[in-house]
Structure 1
């Protein structure tokens, strides 16, 4: 059990540390939105190059849950769909591979927005 938990914690923590350092050291030019886009794009590029998959196999959820893991899943889904469907798979594969996560984010975001009142 600890053989899975420790690598996930360390790798996930390091990914978060990189994001926090980017925001702290480049204030005010590098915002959380920049970190989001950078991590998703970076995960997609590293996934397409085959560099991110060994990290996911080593760290499990520590590499697949952060934003970079979402980019990796998009790239992996698009690459697999191109092999099955041709060029149209490049456009549909990423969304199909991440549909459950996207649907959960929309559902729970809606649920929270209806449940709680924002404070001004």
Structure 2
């Protein structure tokens, strides 16, 4: 049942993103940043944590989950070490994911043969 919850919640987040892509005149980057900020804001007001507890990876894997990780890391670090934690907590919480994205992106670039679309 956990897989079904993750699939449905993650799918619904992606459906919202696809509807935004199809219906509004925003670029992909603007939509991604909107999702990231929405995840951070929903975390700050306490609405994203229950979704994470319910759906697990369905809520943490999309880009809104990255905003959740940034905000949660900052809030936890502020509680542990004071106001300076607002600056370091998000980076500490997401460092492993960012590093993995850079390393695997680099490896993919080394072993692929990209071609122009035209």
Normalising by the residue count of structure 1, what TM-score does the alignment of the two structures yield?
Answer: 0.94
1:7 paired with 2:2, answer no
Aligned to 2:92: 96
Find the counterpart in structure 1 of residue 46 from structure 2. 50
Separation in 2, partners of 1:16, 1:87: 34
Partner of 1:20: 18
Q: Which runs of 5+ in 2 are unaligned?
A: none
Instruction: State the 4+ residue runs in structure 1 displaced beyond 2 angstroms.
Output: none
Q: Which runs of 5+ in 1 are unaligned?
A: none
Count, aligned residues: 116
Q: What do residues 45-91 of structure 1 show as CA deviations (whole Å, max 9, x unaligned)?
A: 00111100000000000001100011001000000000111111000
Task: Say whether residues 1:119 and 2:103 are aligned partners.
Answer: no
Deviation (angstroms), 1:113: 1.2
1:64 corresponding residue in structure 2:
60
Q: TM-score, normalised by structure 2?
A: 0.95
Structure 1 residue 117 displacement after superposition: 2.3
